[in-house]
Structure formats: structure tokens, C-alpha cells
Copies of this chain bind each other. A is one copy, B any other.
Amino acid sequence: MTDPSVEDWWTTSIIRMEPGVIEFRDRPIEDLIGTVSFPQMIWLMLRGDLPTPGQARLLEAALVASVDHGPQAPSIAIARMAVTCGVGLNNAMASAVNVLGDVHGGAGEQLVELFGRIDRAGGPAAVPEALKAHRAEHGKFVPGFGHRFHKDGDPRAPRLLGLVDDLAAQGEISGRFAAIARAIEAELARGKPRGVPMNIDGATAVIFAELGFAAPLARGIFCLSRSVGILAHAWEQSQQGGRNKGPMPPNYLWTYGGAPGA
């Protein structure tokens, strides 16, 4: 391998710059400011083109829906603790976004992949087989369905699904990933009194799949959305004060588990 030249070391198709010129995907920034919405700009940066208004509204709904799930979520608790340790809002946001990993932030990514496999295998009819394979590899839990707190249903999911149905009725998206998700929901409910209803991760995964986003971007866009809640809680905590705030009141320490092997 010959070493690359300095000029070619960093290459991007996202941005072009000259003194006085900033273009994103060949569009001058001054034509974008005041013209495109923030979700349209997010799409342009990630995809290289602009979405239709309907596509943008659907992406916007997903961005709005996932901003926050309260101080019991590890990401939010971390942001609040961080500011009491004497770091800036950017640092608190970083410590928090960092934990949106495979478990906390990965359900959407895994589900977009699963939806894609089911779609390529023929759609809803392939669901029972696909779930069997998924569980053989990953265990009983199917990401995106059921919620340990909202046991009778996540209030965000039906609203998001309704917007998906509207756009599919207008022919802007196919609606086939919504059908797959509903087939999964039906399969999971079979023989159970209460069912395992789709949650926010399931509904946003439907949106990302319908809009054609690559699976890892389901996680990436969730990070953009949750960053809003992270910032809001970090800011609120900074107004409340507190120094080195631990997870629980200081009169509760922890259980000492004994020496290993004891």
C-alpha cells in the first residue's frame, strides 16, 4: 500500500468549503437556513438528498416522541448526576449519550434489521419462522415489544403508527414494515391474555424502516432525539443545585455482598 497524500487523508461528500462558501450536499448553507426544517436538514446530512414533506413529518414525529423517559432512565440520571460534579452541559450530554448502547439505545437498530430480514423473506407470513430464529439466537426477548412500566401499552406507539398509516394511505411510503410489525405483535399475543404491545422502539423502528434508513442510523437518530431530554434534565438539575449527587439519598449506601468466595 502506498501512503495516501495529505490532501486525500480526509474525504467527505457531506460538506464543501471555500472562504465565504459552505455547501452541504451541493446546496449553499444560506439557501438552507430559513428554508428547510431541522428534520429536513438531518435527513439531508445523513442521506444526501431532501425528503418529501410527508417523509420529513414522519421523521419529525419520531424525533419528538423519543426525547425523554424520565430520571429513571440511566441516560437521564447520568446527565443529572454529571452536572452536580462540576462539568459543562456538553460534558454531561456526552456521558449520557455515550450509554445509549446495545441495550439502552440499540432496540431500534436490531428491529430495523429484523424487519428487513422478514421483508426479504416475504413479509408478514414469514414472521413466525423469523421470530423462532430470532429467539434461538438472542433469547426470548424481542426488542420493540412490551414495556416493563407501560404494561398495558406505550402511549407513544399508537400515535406514531397512526401517522405511518396516514402516509402509507397517501402512497408516500409502502406501509409494509408497519404490516410486519403488526404481524409480530399478533404473533406475540397468541394465547396470552394481555399481549405484548409495540413500544416506542417498535414504532420508531417501523418509521425508520419505512423511510429507508440504514439500521445503525436508527440508533444515531435516537441519540439526536434523546439528547434533547438529556440536555433539558441536565439544565434543570443545574438550576436545582446539588453537589456530587449520588443515585440515592446519602443515608442509603449499598449492600455489602461479602468477600468473593465467603
Chain A residues proximal to chain B, CB less than 8 Å: 3-17, 19-22, 24-26, 28-30, 32-34, 36-39, 41-42, 45-46, 48-49, 57, 60-61, 63-65, 67-75, 77-78, 80-82, 84-106, 148-153, 155-156, 158-160, 162-163, 214, 216-217, 219-221, 223-224, 227-229, 231-236, 238, 240, 243-261
Interchain CB contact (< 8 A) of A48 among B105, B224, B255, B260 = B260
Residues of B within 8 A of A250 (CB): 3, 72, 148-149
Residues of B within 8 A of A148 (CB): 250
A52 CB to closest chain B CB, in angstroms? 16
**Copies of this subunit:** 4
Let me know if B70 and A159 touch, CB within 8 A. Answer: no
- Whether A21 contacts B253 in the complex (CB less than 8 A), given A38-B39, A98-B98, A244-B73, comes out as no
Shortest beta-carbon contacts, A-B, top 6? A86-B102, A86-B103, A247-B247, A94-B98, A87-B101, A85-B104
Let me know if A87 and B98 touch, CB within 8 A. Answer: yes
